[in-house]
Amino acid sequence: MQELSLSNDIRIPAIQCIAISKRTNLPGDGISWFINIVDYNTRSPSQQKEFLDAMLAEIYLFPYWREVLNVLGLDPIHIDLQEDLDKATIIQSGGESESHRKFKEFVSKNPLVLGLKDSLPDGILEHVLPSADVIDILFIDQSLKIGVEVKSHISPPEDILRGIFQCVKYKHLIEAKQIIDNELPNSRVILALEGKLPEKFTMAKNLLGIEVIDNIQMSKAKLK
């Protein structure tokens, strides 16, 4: 990609940053070759994530991808999520399902399934944010607040898409509360899925910078 240029004045962003590890939600160590940042691999995960978010914004705002595709002889892929978005806006009623309750409680006692430290205290269930929004789970790791929205195996695609947008909201709310409390904004928000993330939502997840951990099996982890 570095050798491909549309003009001397246009630099193509390192699209390789989009390919991230499912375990760390970060690109592999080899990404430093593409982004030309010598100390990238020595930075902390949070510093790498901050840099990655800036790179992703540059990638998504780059206005000449269609021209790049033309040079490469490729056709753009069109993904239409309008039907799912319309369904996601329909307000749900009927209360919490038993599947959701069990999965939520399981995840709150098993931070390891999210790649978090097993030594963390149990997550706080149904944590109420200052806006009166309620996040399923909140883990506290010293100054780091980790919010988790869970979707059980019975969640339909539109509910999973709704969860992606909920995570966007929760991250801003958690960090807003930290700022009001005179703390440095330091948070992660994870969408935890008992089932698999629908492939068609991968682009939305990446565009919005949401951490998703899917295929979490309750039978393969041990309760504390």
Q: Which two tokens stand for residue 169?
A: 């909201």
**Range list for CATH 3.40.1350.10 in the chain:** 82-220
How far, in Å, CA of 123 to CA of 215, rounded?
20
Whose CA is closest to 52, among 19, 99, 101?
19
User: Is the Cβ–Cβ distance between 194 and 136 less than 8 Å?
Assistant: no
Q: Is the pTM of this model over 0.85?
A: no
Fold of 82-220: Trna Endonuclease; Chain: A, domain 1 (3.40.1350)
Each residue's pLDDT expressed in tens, for the chain with a length of 224 residues: 555 555 556 778 777 766 666 666 676 666 655 666 666 677 777 777 777 777 777 787 888 888 888 888 888 777 788 999 999 998 877 788 999 999 999 999 999 999 999 999 999 999 999 999 999 999 999 999 999 999 999 999 999 999 999 999 999 999 999 999 999 999 999 999 999 999 999 888 887 889 999 999 987 555 55
For residue 188, list its beta bridge partners: 146
Q: Which two tokens stand for residue 210?
A: 């949401």
Instruction: State the sign of the Cα–Cα–Cα–Cα dihedral 65, 70, 74, 79.
Output: positive
CB-facing half-sphere around the CA of 94: CA atoms within 13 A? 5
